[in-house]
Structure 1
């Protein structure tokens, strides 16, 4: 008898669960397709609404999504930090103002209930089409901050030492503390990372900014997609702008802040030049594989690529002229290869069966760049920002870096990336000055590079 009771109970549980799942996936029988996910997504780009004498950004704790987009909604799972990890070291902070200001490692800071007063800042709004601002001086793209641009409710002035060359020294100098609650009209409830960008359309330098934002997001366990990136600069629109939004969340330009605004959770981000990615002599850089996983996943790109030595993907990355920022209206770049077709033809001839191709990758949007890079086995190119994609190559891959005579191989940006990720690395240096042509073109030694590809293939497939 007990046996039948147990069987009946099991059948009841199965039917109940099946009914519950049916109810959830059909929107409670109302014909609404999707899942209701509670507590996983907080809307940050809603228009502020008036509450009493202040404006507040509405947050939605419950939002419906189709099952195809559920993957984007679920919380990012940061890997646990080890006891001796880099983040635990840099998170040894020095607090002031009752904990409303905490400086970390001389590189970044956390501010709670910080006010930005836009009347104390001057500069271009930014975001213009590049054609509208050709030849504008670089200094026009930087915000001038006056005393009181940042405000905190605190009795004493805050004294904290940031690194000597960091713009955060200027920011703390214009941070005013007051015993009275500063007036404000708009509230930003989500995490906000304030960033001053420098070489904002250069992939390498922007990558240092991406990585720095990734680090502080991990340190504070922020939810990607719900992080406001605040640009305190006035740069025009750039090709990498949308990547910020894809990785982290809504973008806010300082020039678009019209009224005094409170930021409940603000981070003054790490300066790009202070990034661990910029320390090329370091033995390692923390969390690089997690950064790769994060970057690819946020673009919905598969993170695994199987090695197939019968058909390697061999990609030449071409540097060609293109207009990227106002100070170079002709779009002229250096370190270009004159004999691209000859290089490509030789590789195709010697590596029959492999997938050999060349591309000017900056003509693609970031997602399509990553689709290619995440499956490339051998990447070949002149030293340049595009080789920052070394960070997203498969774990078994290799980089072949080329240098003209006028560019020193002491520039180890990408050799360091390969070393940090335990990738294979080879290089070629031109030593024949007669092969350097006008407009920064170089005739590359076809035989030498073809030989390096063969050596790299043996290294990868042995």
Structure 2
């Protein structure tokens, strides 16, 4: 009997110890690492800190256990080595890299020097809101560094990082602060925040700097310096990288021990469509799928190909388009499906408005699609996550030039098969941006793509 009492007492002591660790914010080893696992926190980490010990207390109400990510060696090319050739100032506490991004150590944000909407509202609350209302305005002193000399560094001409550097002040005195963020932070200013293509450039940029500095996904704070309302892609940021902090939620002067001013979305390598290759793209695919717990491998079965039509349909995504109207919509969706199913019996052929699904369910489909078909549009960014053997068929109306090669470039970078069709009959283009697609032409392209994929 005494033996069982001792065992029960031991279990009780262990339980109390575990409860104390979680209640106190966990074991602190470079942030929130606990026993080689990463714990993700809430999207609004309003923090309090101990100034003398420089520790951070995160909210722990929705801790999530995630396996650590292992970065692959940069064996594809020397891209990371090239972009990490930096110019340092302030004893190394400010380093600019190739005019595109910067690393700051022990930088303080003063929220009194920032103005704008907090953001995060439901879109129904801000319909018709002007875009300028979603900009977060920074004044001199928003960023502060303990440094005797002013920093002069040349960021790319159109990058907002020029303005961020202009509002950074250096001071010989130690600026006061009340909150400390100990783990890595990537500061991002988003532009077309609900457009999958433009957000993908932001995701890829954050991936690149995370890899460059060997950050641990799940333990990276993403700081949005903007005031956008809530968007469908917001949760993907948290899934990929870690907790989200909006600039408008910072209430007290806060020290960020390790901050990166991220690469501007429009300055992304993904926007360089004529580039011969794109660095680490297969690792990016693996990273994106793995962070959503989606298997990265898909076997090709030529007796039952998975063929997906990606439909563009009206839906509300941001305040400037309250009607939700989109262009490049296909009028004869069912006709296309029926023809494909008739000519390719036994294959899995279907159509979907994929943006109605959450990202994980989108990826579950895309990761196993053998042939993807769709009008030119942001949804074709999923070309990045198709299996390595897959093919893309891209469709264009007359009013949208096929010189827009965003997705053709993605297919080329990944060595996927690519075919295209452009409408030349204006009578097939209808009011409200609908188009009647040539059924025979698309059916023939599917046949050609099947031969390519299954050679």
TM-score (ref. length: structure 1)? 0.89
Partners of 1:355 and 1:416 lie apart in 2 by: 27
Q: Rg: which structure is higher?
A: 1
1:41 is aligned to 2:38? yes
1:353 is aligned to 2:352? no
1:169-218 CA deviation, whole Å, 9 max, x = no partner? 00000000000001100000010000000000000000000000000000
CA contact (8 A) 1:49 1:55 kept: no
SS at match of 2:38: coil
Change (3 A) 1:428 1:240: same
1:316 is aligned to 2:315? no
SS at match of 1:372: helix
1:307-331 CA deviation, whole Å, 9 max, x = no partner? 0000000000000000000000000
CA contact (8 A) 2:77 2:279 kept: no
- The aligned counterpart of 1:450 is 443
Segments of 5+ residues of structure 1 without an aligned counterpart are 1-22
- The aligned counterpart of 2:164 is 171
Taking the TM superposition and a 5 Å limit, the aligned residue runs for 1:209-358 are 209-358=202-351
Partners of 1:432 and 1:413 lie apart in 2 by: 24
1:28-59 CA deviation, whole Å, 9 max, x = no partner? 997999xx952543666676445367874137
Partners of 1:379 and 1:306 lie apart in 2 by: 16
User: Which of 164, 187, 193 is residue 180 of structure 2 equivalent to?
Assistant: 187
Segments of 5+ residues of structure 2 without an aligned counterpart are 1-6, 19-26, 28-33
User: Which of 397, 400, 403 is residue 410 of structure 1 equivalent to?
Assistant: 403
- The aligned counterpart of 2:131 is 138
CA contact (8 A) 1:54 1:184 kept: no
Ranges of 4+ aligned residues in structure 1 off by more than 6 Å:
26-33
Give the count of matched residue pairs.
427
SS at match of 1:188: strand
TM-score (ref. length: structure 2)? 0.90
CA contact (8 A) 1:335 1:440 kept: yes
Change (3 A) 1:305 1:345: same
User: Which of 422, 430, 443 is residue 429 of structure 1 equivalent to?
Assistant: 422
CA contact (8 A) 1:44 1:58 kept: no
Give 1:80 shift: 1.1
- The aligned counterpart of 2:114 is 121
